[in-house]
């Protein structure tokens, strides 16, 4: 799936249908939802610059140095390049030029334009509010959001510690509602990082290295918390705005809850028993992400069960102190199991005891 302030949409030369459109405001490609605790800055300057290049190139006009300079000096492009270089991934202006001038991208021009315009109308404050509703009272969320048109079709969060940024690949297949859902999901990650840092296990010197490693990986259940927050509550399907195949995939993955919980339990016990070298812990831990694998589905199901049984405030306690998560889920599951034919699985008492000492 790591900035703040005035509303502006800029689109240089619009739709293929023949109309040219520009909407400008003082900050150039920036939209803000700014309040005391919610500071979201939507920066479209990279995508706007790519669209301007596409329109000019398709019309047959020669592209000049100033046209490319607009892209290369845009905030979104500079931060994207910074991130890729920090990850030691290839990223060159030449590769970007080849991408922008490709027939493949040219064929998508109108759909990209429509998608970008749709996304700029997103309810930033609403998305931020859904994220805040699953964080401690007074939680502060600050982030820059960059819709980007780039060679790699991935989205991610960057620089959580200093200047949180969310990069979302402009995908014409994603509706404005899906865009807002993804935004709320990523904003929850950012708010969690800022609001729950004081209870970080990294600051607890009493923990052994193996317990700290297990608890570190339990933080990946944050994907499930964010799914719940982005949906807006336990009674709303996490993929209500998604394509049918995405919703069906999620339902299939959730149906594996029992088996996936046991797989994760084995993973945690192997860590606690020092059976896995660090590189194997990393390999196995990342394998549980998948498209939306057990970190998402098991995390969501646990959060769902806790909220439905004990309320949201109790769930938020677990979000900020992951040592409470498994035991609180077990309490909720036991309550649930009194009235259902298919009982929910429980985490082992031994595992809970080892991480709770």
Residues 207 and 191 in one domain: no
337 occurs within a structural domain:
yes
Q: Which parts of the chain fold into alpha helices (H)?
A: 45-58, 65-72, 75-86, 93-100, 103-107, 109-119, 124-132, 176-195, 209-218, 222-231, 244-254, 257-272, 278-287, 294-310, 312-320, 325-337, 349-356
Average pLDDT, stretch 251-264? 98
What range does the domain containing 163 cover?
A: 30-195
* pTM of the entire predicted model: 0.85
Distance in angstroms (rounded) separating the CA atoms of residues 121 and 50: 19
Go through 42-74 and write b for each residue having 16 or more CB atoms within 10 A of its CB, e for each that does not: bbbbbbbbbbbbbbbbeeeeeeeeebbebbeeb
Which range has the worst mean pLDDT, 20-29, 132-141, 145-154?
20-29
Residues 56 and 135 in one domain: yes
Residues 105 and 231 in one domain: no
Identify the pLDDT of residue 5.
Answer: 26
Residues 278 and 191 in one domain: no
Query: Which among 145, 166, 195 is the end of a domain?
Result: 195
Identify the pLDDT of residue 3.
Answer: 31
Residues 347 and 261 in one domain: yes
Average pLDDT, stretch 241-250? 96
Average pLDDT, stretch 154-183? 93
Residues 137 and 55 in one domain: yes
Residues 217 and 160 in one domain: no
Q: What is the pLDDT of residues 69-119, one digit of tens each?
A: 999 999 999 999 999 999 898 889 999 999 999 999 999 999 999 999 999
Q: What is the pLDDT of residues 308-318, one digit of tens each?
A: 999 999 999 99
Identify the pLDDT of residue 343.
Answer: 96
What pLDDT band is residue 350 in, cutting at 50, 70 and 90? Answer: very high
What pLDDT band is residue 195 in, cutting at 50, 70 and 90? Answer: confident
Distance in angstroms (rounded) separating the CA atoms of residues 305 and 225: 12
4 occurs within a structural domain:
no
Q: Which residue has 């939507």 as its token pair?
A: 42
143 occurs within a structural domain:
yes
Query: Which among 195, 225, 260 is the end of a domain?
Result: 195
- Indicate if the pLDDT at residue 61 is higher than 60: yes
Instruction: Tell me how long the chain is.
Output: 357
Query: Which among 161, 195, 229 is the end of a domain?
Result: 195
What pLDDT band is residue 200 in, cutting at 50, 70 and 90? Answer: low
Query: What is the number of domains present in the chain?
Result: 2
- Indicate if the pLDDT at residue 68 is higher than 50: yes
Identify the pLDDT of residue 31.
Answer: 61
Distance in angstroms (rounded) separating the CA atoms of residues 188 and 119: 19
């Amino acid at each position: 799936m790591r900035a703040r302030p005035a509303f502006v949409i800029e689109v240089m030369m619009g739709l293929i249908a023949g109309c040219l459109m520009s909407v400008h405001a003082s900050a150039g490609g920036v939209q803000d939802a700014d309040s005391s605790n919610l500071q979201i800055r939507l920066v479209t300057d990279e995508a706007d610059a790519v669209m301007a290049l596409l329109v000019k190139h398709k019309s047959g006009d020669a592209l000049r140095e100033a046209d490319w300079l607009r892209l290369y000096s845009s905030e979104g492009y500079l931060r994207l390049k910074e991130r890729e270089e920090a990850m030691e991934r290839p990223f060159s202006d030449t590769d970007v030029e080849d991408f922008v001038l490709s027939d493949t991208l040219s064929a998508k021009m109108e759909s990209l334009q429509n998608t970008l315009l749709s996304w700029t109308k997103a309810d930033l404050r609403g998305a931020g509010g859904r994220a805040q509703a699953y964080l401690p009272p007074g939680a502060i969320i600050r982030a820059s959001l960059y819709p980007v048109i780039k060679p790699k079709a991935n989205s991610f969060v960057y620089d959580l510690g200093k200047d949180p940024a969310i990069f979302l690949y402009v995908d014409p297949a994603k509706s404005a509602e899906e865009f807002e859902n993804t935004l709320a999901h990523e904003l929850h990650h950012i708010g969690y990082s800022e609001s729950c840092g004081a209870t970080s296990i990294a600051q607890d010197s009493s923990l052994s290295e193996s317990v700290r490693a297990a608890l570190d990986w339990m933080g990946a259940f944050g994907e499930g918390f964010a799914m719940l927050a982005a949906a807006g509550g336990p009674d709303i399907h996490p993929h209500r705005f998604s394509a049918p195949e995405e919703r069906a995939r999620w339902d299939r993955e959730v149906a594996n809850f029992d088996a996936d919980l046991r797989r994760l339990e084995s993973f945690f016990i192997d860590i606690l028993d020092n059976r896995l070298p660090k590189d194997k812990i990393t390999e196995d831990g990342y394998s549980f992400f998948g498209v939306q694998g057990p970190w998402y589905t098991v995390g969501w199901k646990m959060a769902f069960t806790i909220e439905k049984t004990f309320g949201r405030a109790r769930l938020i306690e677990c979000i900020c102190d992951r040592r409470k998560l498994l035991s609180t889920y077990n309490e909720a599951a036991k309550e649930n199991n009194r009235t259902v034919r298919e009982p929910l699985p429980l985490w082992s008492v031994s595992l809970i005891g080892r991480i709770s000492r």
